Amino acid sequence: MNFADSRGYPRLLSLLFPGLLIGIFVPCIASGEDFSLELTEFEKKPYTLGGFAEIKWERMNIREEGSTTLLNLHDPPSTLNRLTTSMQFKGSYTKWIAGFNWLAAGYARQDDLGWADSLDLYEGYLTLHPRPAINGALGKKAYTWGKGYAWNPVGFINRTKDPNNPEEALEGYATAEAEWIKSFSGALQNIAFTSVVLPVERNLNEDFGAEGHVNLAAKLYLLYFDTDVDFIVYTGESRTDRFGFDFSRNITTNFEMHGEIAYLTDIDRPILQQDGGISVETGDITSALVGIRHLSSQDLTSIVEYYYNGDGYSAKEMSIFHDLVDDAAAQRTNAGDDDLPVTISGSRSYTRPYAGENYLYARFSLKEPFDILYFTPAMTTIINLDDDSFSLTPELIYTGYTNWELRLRYAILEGDPGSDFGEKQNRSRLELRLRYFF
């Protein structure tokens, strides 16, 4: 990101505006024509409003013998139908040097298992711009630190993305933020320093980590030789200390390369043993990501990323976990306790999304093939490189009506028994989503 492009707008407009007036008035005076100018036409509105409303239907084919299914569902059906309506409403209001930004999200969902609904304030924070180079923010704010598209190892205060929907808005944390920005004319074009205070108390950011602590995160951004670089650090008692680095550079106009590396200290890793016992390994870990983004002359956008999860489990470790779940399910059936859920100590660490070590992400989307206007087909795949299991998701997107988007998706999850995707709850999922933007 070039801060000279975004933060320099007020100064640029102050230079261009007198010239614009001269360009308007001089020709009119020279021609002797009457002219009137309403300055209100140039005034920027102090507020913005927007959002979307959507309805989504899903049909899922359940992998009844999968480990995730056995842990989550007592009597799993072979298929599951779901209907979800949701809405997001966002806006901002700016007056002089102060502003307020908000994002609210809610949904109501009905499926074969029951009803669920939620209404949350994803973001709601005050901003202050006392000087062009100094900014501040206070309130609930979502952070998107890192350069990765599907994963962000250095996103120490980010919410975790869903790689299948990485551009969707996420809930933020209550923080206090200060930012300083400076532009230069040499090889170092921009520098920005952002510091964030993130407290964790009961009913305040309590899902971030241990309560009763005030945590600090900081990011130093550099635009150096046309390369975006971030140095990131987190320290506090709610989580262990972490250090990160990321970069992004346009190799050519249509070819970009990016990467991240994160070093996390004193991470506890529960390790299940074949006899059902559990041990905890504590140590420092490193996670990394490297990726590319390319736009071809045929409007084919390609995104490819490799992700190494230093906190992940090997294929053998995952297989031991799945075997334990199968054994527990068999014992439950033999004991006649089919109404009780299967429980495995330490299973939460194994069932979190993308708990393996090595992943490959690839997404390809083609804009308006065969001159079919407003039509974009796409294909996304995520592969666990350790056990060769994968998800494959073709989709079709149509935007032919103003402010409307229609998306059809079909996700397939395949793999051998005991593999990452081969033990997921869904074998496949069909989704039809209609979204209206306002």
Find residue 9's DSSP bridge partners: none
Same domain as 58, residue 38:
no
Same domain as 241, residue 153:
yes
Q: Which two tokens stand for residue 189?
A: 């074009």
Residue 339 pLDDT: 59
The model's pTM: 0.86
Same domain as 38, residue 80:
no
Residue with tokens 């979307």: 52
Residue 338 pLDDT: 63
Same domain as 123, residue 33:
no
Contacts with 120 (C-beta within 8 Å, 6 or more apart), sequence order: 104, 105, 106, 171
Residue 75 pLDDT: 81
Same domain as 67, residue 29:
no
Same domain as 386, residue 353:
yes
Residue 306 pLDDT: 99
Same domain as 164, residue 309:
yes
The one-digit pLDDT tens for each residue of the chain (438 residues) are 443 343 333 333 333 333 333 333 333 333 344 444 454 445 778 999 999 999 999 999 999 999 889 888 878 899 999 999 999 999 999 999 999 999 999 999 999 999 999 999 999 999 999 999 999 999 999 999 999 999 999 999 999 999 999 999 999 999 999 999 999 999 999 999 999 999 999 999 999 999 999 999 999 999 999 999 999 999 999 999 999 999 999 999 999 999 999 999 999 999 999 888 889 999 999 999 999 999 999 999 999 999 999 999 999 999 999 999 988 888 877 776 665 566 777 778 998 999 999 999 999 999 999 999 999 999 999 999 999 999 999 999 999 999 999 999 999 999 999 999 999 999 999 999 999 999
Same domain as 96, residue 21:
no
Same domain as 148, residue 38:
no
Give the CATH number of the domain where residue 282 resides.
2.40.160.100
The b/e string for 304-333 (b: 16+ C-beta within 10 A; e otherwise) is bbbbbbbbbbebebbbbbbebbbebbeebe
Residue 38 pLDDT: 53
Burial of 378 (0-12, 13-18, 19+ CB in 10 A): middle
As for how many domains the chain has, the answer is 2
Secondary structure (3-state) at 182: strand
Q: Calculate the CA dihedral of residues 363, 367, 373, 374 and round it to 10 degrees.
A: 50
CA dist 127 and 137 (Å) reads 4
- DSSP calls for 222-253: EEETTEEEEEEEEE-SSS--EEEEEEEEEEET
Same domain as 4, residue 95:
no
Same domain as 241, residue 349:
yes
Same domain as 53, residue 30:
no
Residue 12 pLDDT: 32
CA dist 371 and 74 (Å) reads 49
Q: Domain residues for 256?
A: 45-437
